[in-house]
Amino acid sequence: MEKLLRSLGYEVVKYNDLTAKRMNEALHTFTEHPKLRDTDSVFVVIMSHGKREFVLGVNHSEENPDEFPVDNIYKYLGPQECPALMNKPKIIIIQACRG
């Protein structure tokens, strides 16, 4: 995926092995990226395990849930949180089971 996006001219910001909390922080940090005002579109790709409505963080277990709500993606990329992306295509790819 990284190679494909780079070949299409996108700058890739990559994170590995995140907890749900770090996924939230990474998306929040992304909304403040200085190049968003000049971009025509963005891709957000999340690859992990999952279940309905959640992407699972690296520390997930049945006893200790580490769950990132999928709706947070839309919250962070929406016009209130990220006005720089208003009226710009946002392609979101989630590669995770849904339970």
List, for residues 38-87, the tens digit of each pLDDT value: 999 999 999 999 999 999 999 999 999 999 999 999 999 999 999 999 99
Tokens of 19: 């907890």
Contact 20, 57 (CB under 8 A): yes
Residue 98: which pLDDT band, with cuts at 50, 70 and 90? confident
Write the DSSP string, the chain. Answer: -HHHHHHTT-------S--HHHHHHHHHHHHT-GGGGG-S-EEEEEES-EETTEEEPTT--SSS--EEETHHHHHHHSTTT-GGGTTS-EEEEEE----
pTM of the model: 0.87
CA atoms of 35 and 38, how far apart (whole Å): 5
Task: Give the β-pairing of 67-69 and 90-95.
Answer: unpaired
CB 21 within 8 A of CB 65: no
Active-site residue set? 49, 97
pLDDT of residue 48: 94
